[in-house]
Amino acid sequence: MNPPPPPTPGAPGETLRAKVDWIKRELGMAPDLCCGRAIREANERLGFRSETPPDGLSLPAQADRILVELQSPPSPPPSPPY
């Protein structure tokens, strides 16, 4: 069975729990990890500030930021110098 598609950041009706469950699957976190701890760990793994709350964002806003980061295509490698 295929995993569910990623939630849309900021979409009405998307629950924080659905977003965090998707983040946990993507980052290989334990499924029973609580929402707050999973968001904190995801922030750290992605290099976002780890204060509480990071950058003054609520948990749903942090989850949206993490979703955007995880769904972004990877940056191309830098060009070699000439």
d(CA 78, CA 54): 29
Q: Where are the domains of the chain?
A: 16-71
pLDDT of residue 9: 64
The reported pTM is 0.72
d(CA 82, CA 75): 20
* 35-60 residue pLDDT tens: 999 999 999 999 887 555 656 788 99
Neighbours of 7 (CB within 10 A): 22
d(CA 32, CA 10): 24
